[in-house]
Structure 1
């Protein structure tokens, strides 16, 4: 078993907090609120037609929380409900305004992450990307965990997604 040096876990934890807070702050502006509203826009952009239940599970919300989120998305004019796979379900689709809002969220996220990466050399960025690929590919267990891990990703910028590869390869 590998035991990292004493500082590595603390550094990773601090880095995770830095990146998380910068992303949350960045996406709050375009979405008008942080957290689930911005995440829902991106999830629905990349997975049109999912149900509120799927969205609830991917975002880790309670059933009332998901209902409130879908209601807020509708109030902004960002989502429309269409008939789902069965008579009881409703498929969620972004409106053109919702797609534009999702793009705004992704642009803000990218700007914030670029600022975090700015002090690194090209070689350091490549090394960081290699480490991230290795760690992420082993975390996915099913389609829901894939959607969870990539809920704020700009999937167009990551054509060879290591998280998706991990799902396809069984997390190896």
Structure 2
């Protein structure tokens, strides 16, 4: 008989350990906190969005996002540009682009290492299992940008469909 409580506990322990590994490597690689690291990834994927939009995509209020962008500017990782009206857009500097690239690589290393414990068939099976879990998470969170704030988007969409993007299209379709 299947014990769903045990499976949930195993999933919880795995999720927490993976999160700890990934966030430690990401923060170390970027030299900034996890919110600022997420902002670097978001800005590398969508340059020129507003400070408010950066905050929305990484789960920060507008004032907190403005403070975080100030921190990125002080580290010469980003700069603000005047937009239309009162809107201010944010762009990465060349150093910010490098930092975003380095932190995505740092994020991937512990995940790739962990997956090496599985054979190719097991990795494919895990991908098949993660797809409906991510769709369920999207239905609960309702914000694909927030869920994917530290995602290596190119790796998720090259030759495959992003399960979170698909869940969003199905909701909006």
Give TM-score, length-normalised by structure 2: 0.89
Q: Deviations over 1:74-115 (max 9, x none)?
A: 01111121222x311101111121111100000001111112
Q: CA RMSD in A?
A: 2.3
Mapped partners of 1:25, 1:139: distance in 2:
23
Mapped partners of 1:4, 1:47: distance in 2:
43
Quote the residue 1:33 is aligned against: 32
Counterparts of 1:95-114 in structure 2, within 5 Å, are: 95-114=93-112
Instruction: Tell me, yes or no, if the aligned pair for 1:139 and 1:171 is still in contact at 8 Å.
Output: no
1:119 pairs, out of 100, 108, 117, with 117
Counterparts of 1:43-122 in structure 2, within 5 Å, are: 43-84=42-83, 86-122=84-120
**SS of 1:27's equivalent?**
helix
Instruction: Tell me, yes or no, if the aligned pair for 2:52 and 2:61 is still in contact at 8 Å.
Output: no
**SS of 2:5's equivalent?**
coil
- How far apart are residue 65 of structure 1 and its match? 2.2
Mapped partners of 1:163, 1:91: distance in 2:
26
Mapped partners of 1:115, 1:15: distance in 2:
14
- How far apart are residue 4 of structure 1 and its match? 5.7
Instruction: Tell me, yes or no, if the aligned pair for 1:140 and 1:171 is still in contact at 8 Å.
Output: no
- Extract unaligned runs of 5+ from structure 1: none
Mapped partners of 1:163, 1:95: distance in 2:
29
Residue 168 in 1 paired to residue 166 in 2? no
Instruction: Tell me, yes or no, if the aligned pair for 1:138 and 1:171 is still in contact at 8 Å.
Output: no
Question: Would you say how many aligned residue pairs link Structure 1 and Structure 2?
Answer: 169
Instruction: Tell me, yes or no, if the aligned pair for 2:27 and 2:34 is still in contact at 8 Å.
Output: yes
